[in-house]
Structure 1
């Protein structure tokens, strides 16, 4: 691993590369690079991985920003990228409400009712006539909160099933959270 260059070390190496008047890349440490053009311009760039490909993000031009400022910006960009990746990973690991509802929650809920009970068909009707048209079915489970449910209900403009709608959604969510927490143990 390359150690981080100090401001003085950077200036010495930059002067040598500028005298050559050729394209060059100087590794400043910590995924920060100085890009030299044949015209004598120096730009700072940070290397990050996006979609499993190396990518460079230009931070700014030297001497408009110093090495220290470039390093601070590079660290901030890398931190933002890590947070973004964590968020994307956690979203992709979480099922859509409709998939979880139809494949896991509804079959388990149906099995608890006596044979001949109309409750499962009522819940299925609620799902197809209320939850799906509201748009809630296309949310990932970890994106759903009370504000999302209220917004979906409001857009649906249907008040008759509001209580049952909310109750069934949160019963489903509770089951998912229980399974998720059991898998962590």
Structure 2
């Protein structure tokens, strides 16, 4: 059959199927349209696939495509199955791979925003637009070195861990055969991290808050009250900065932290001393009707509340400017300071642990379900009375 015969058959418009040879057929459909169809048998099943429309695909090209399909079938490849496979997502760049990996993280991690933040801020700018197979160990070293040089050893270690996970995901998807991050260890990134033991004394706290007041133009009143609340309540930074006014019951003097924002996975009611309530009511005025206790100060940010790094950055800025009169400390050290001050005040260990919303260990943690609310209220009241003259 030649092109002239093909045109004649289509012009007739008779709905039919005409054999061309080697499994190729011309199928005439309604409205005088001809389609090329290839029939084949694989795994003892008869199948057919449409490969194009005439004249978009010429007779010569249709014959060539049919011979290619027959060759694939002889090698055990089913073109219909391959066509379905090609509907799966395409992974061209590291950004494509990362998006798929981060979706997996969201299924198994309680806080999937953490690897997403590290990837977006520290990994993507260097390799995000590269092809997945183009990334080499030198790229990984550049990423972790940049972070380590910015004095963020913990983030450098986390970043290395996420790079390893990311490219293991690539190997799992058969997009790479090797992991460019696998040979690196924490000694190449942020180093082995030592457990911190820093807790501030009352004298140091007095100097710290004096420094905050003297630099009120750069260390805002909201930051000042946030530090005071972290010290007097012993809560985690993430629990405080994302808190909403609907969680607070001033009449009952309680803050109900929901379980989805609690690191332990259990909600807890935090008793509020009168002085703490006064600070919160001041923050409520400063919030200007926001649902958040610490509303975002920039409308373009993705959080409705301030960034988790806002307080850290404000304190570290004072250290960099050499204005802070005490040895270096971090926001998390305030929580350790709270625990130390509770111990110094003679608060029983199990009560102090519950004040910090720690899970009790061992058998005691399994059987002791009592929440110690009254005991915690008394303990935190003692702590506030001890601290309010310094804050």
- TM-score class, shorter-chain normalisation, is 0.3 to 0.5
Which protein is richer in strand relative to its size? 1
TM-score under structure 1 normalisation?
0.39
TM-score, with normalisation over the residues of structure 2? 0.19
